[in-house]
A and B are shown apart, each in its own frame.
Chain A
Amino acid sequence: MSLSSHEFYLVVPEIWIAAMASLILIVDLYLTEKTRWITYFLSQITLIGAFYFTWVLWGQGPKTAFYETFILDNIGTLLKMVIFVFGFFVFMYSRKYLEEHNSNRGEYFVLCLFSILGMMVLVSARSFLTLYLGLELFALPLYALVAFVRVETLSRGLSQVLSHETGAEAAMKYFIMGAMASGMLLYGVSLLYGVTGSFGIAEISSFLTQETEVPLAVLFGLMFILVGLAFKFGAVPFHMWIPDVYQGAPTAVTLFISTLPKLAGFGMAIRILLDTFHALSPHWQELMIIMAILSMAVGNIAAIAQSNLKRMLAYSTIAHMGFLFLGLLAGPESGYAAALVYVIIYALMALGAFGIIIALSYRGFEFENIEDFKGLAKREPWIALMMMFILLSLTGIPPFAGFYAKFLVLNALIHAGYVWLAAVAVLFSVIGAYYYLRVIKVMFFDEPKETLPLQYQKVSKSGVALVAVNGFSVLLLGIFPAFIFDLAVSAFVR
């Protein structure tokens, strides 16, 4: 067997992103502050082009390439397209933030693009070797990005002046925890390799289906790999990095971390749980149940105590990832599609929530404490309304998209026979409603702060428009959910 040109045709989107990211890196060197928009423009072109190339490959049944290290199938293609769409919006939100925080450097876009490339490799991995390399490629730029932007804050007392240091501290925590998690994952993979003699997902999966008695080493490998997976999602007890990183990172980076890696993590979960360990599902389901319940409990209860909105949303992420795990363990019939819908809608809501923080922030002022939102409805009625949409959706109140996502997951759970688990999930969602609704109350019923900082600016028209598109898409997906559900179901058709 040798490589044919057709195999390269299957990875055109990956090649395109790698080539364009390298090009942008070089072009950016010759740009001045005034022409820096070219970097932004080229990055968006890159994402649009990648979306087009991936779109062309949609529906071309499962095909492997490069000696079974890469697979093109519907789920991978769909996840890639969704990642490009979200990446496009993340860049749109971040542009103004980067300009205003004196950190409008091309490296942000280049590192984000390379991270997206890693996600693409990860979601279409057909071998644990590519899975691991994709994981590293998507995580490494993020470690740097968290510490990257030197925020120059002027007006906010000591805690804000130190925000550069908090960024570095968050990055260190993220890096060390991430390195440990990938070490765990690698160790698990090496155990699997020792037993099966292969990195290939297809070989390992067929080995496991043939074996009547599962070797203990395989179970150990599975456990280590699950730890790596849970870390990427931030499920309890591997959640410690999430609040610090979300709060310590510049908001533009938090926006990126809170949306795209969740989608890539979902792809990784599908590659590991469905493609590789499907035969062992009773074994991993137990672990997932424990992690899901713990995540929902810790996330929802710890979020109540937060006064910083970014930190609160971080804990809410942990709770939502618990919910996502419920969808994953509900099984192949409807659970995976429900989980896919859930993760896409969650990413949309996180995009909106952190996007609003970005839109409201201005030079030297991070609009991130819940206190800052006091009386926002009087000052920025549109933004407040959209924030309300997104928070209600995060709570899971109809007619917003979040309700539909939760409904699908619970439905799948009940069909799979986990009625008690569904009841627990609903209970924790009710607890979670408290802190979302509190922000709404602060925005609409509290008096605005009496003094505003000198640099205060109203949100620009384009910022409002962007937030409105985001908020209304949450509403529309809630009213007409069939489109996204059909897409998710068709992704799992083999």
Chain B
Amino acid sequence: MSLHETNKIAIDVDNVTKRYAEVTALKNVSLSIHDNEFFTLLGPSGCGKTTLLRTIAGFEGISEGDIRLFGDSIIDLPPNKRPVNTVFQQYALFPHMSVMENVAFGLRRQKVVDSEVRKRTGEVLELVQLSGFADRLPSQLSGGQQQRVALARALAPRPKVLLLDEPLSALDLKLRQDVRVELQQIQANTGITFVFVTHDQEEALTMSNRIAVMSAGIVQQVGTSRDIYESPENKFVADFIGDTNLIDVEIVETDGRQATCLLLGNVQLICNNAKGATKGRASLSVRPERLSLGDASNSSLSGTVSRLTYLGTDIHVAVNLEDGEVIDVRVQNSEDARIPDTGDIVGLNLELDAARVLMN
């Protein structure tokens, strides 16, 4: 992991709005991306994450707001005047140029002298382990190799910030996992700020220092992987990151940190994880692995098993509560696990510390 010895801000997205003719792609987005950080923009397709990245790169103008790079506004600069480089989703390697020419392209445009171009091209190709491929054309490379060339090409001019637009989405699963580790290492070694766009939460959770979860042109939450998974700030984040049960509850008493919730009108629970809660209707977010099954007689909450789904390491048990709400429980597939049958009446045990109250 990279060190945060300075908290210098690399990119400051200040209240940015981007409107197209009929849709608003970004609504008052504000973000601060720290120097030397692996920062991820995560969200479903159409959430505006790619648009945000492209406004930083300069491919899209913005309607309102400002974007600053190390303090200087860059919104009036064309893409070729911005000291940031992009790794494109489909790589966009110039098909008529060799690997070497592709990687040298940015350096040549910057009028770097020949000997220096050769030296730095060699260095980055070595960094991505493609030294022997300098004279190949992109069409003669595998998908994984093309991805590395795209990375090398964007790194060669030593940008202040590297923008990566779903760079792993075109790779197959196995390769993707290898490249994740590599990307993190390269980020740590070069010390360049990475802004990484993905719709894949696993990718985001494993690689990033911090994540911004986006939806419908709005930043829903910014935080570390742990923050976002364990303390989602709203229903969207809770639902989008991992699997969760959102149980309807009524808050009868709260001090803004702790809340007393009423379930099904008769089960009372006290939740410690209730920041910003107010009296009234709310949802209780509980991850399926934080629930366990027990005897109906021993628990305050019980229901009927309606479906079992075998997933190898786990078994998903769907339990119908008496009001028809379905709760997902994940049971580890181990020797001593007690697996119920469909139709059984079971008790549900909640780890109350892991349950989070979210306002509607």
A and B interact physically: no
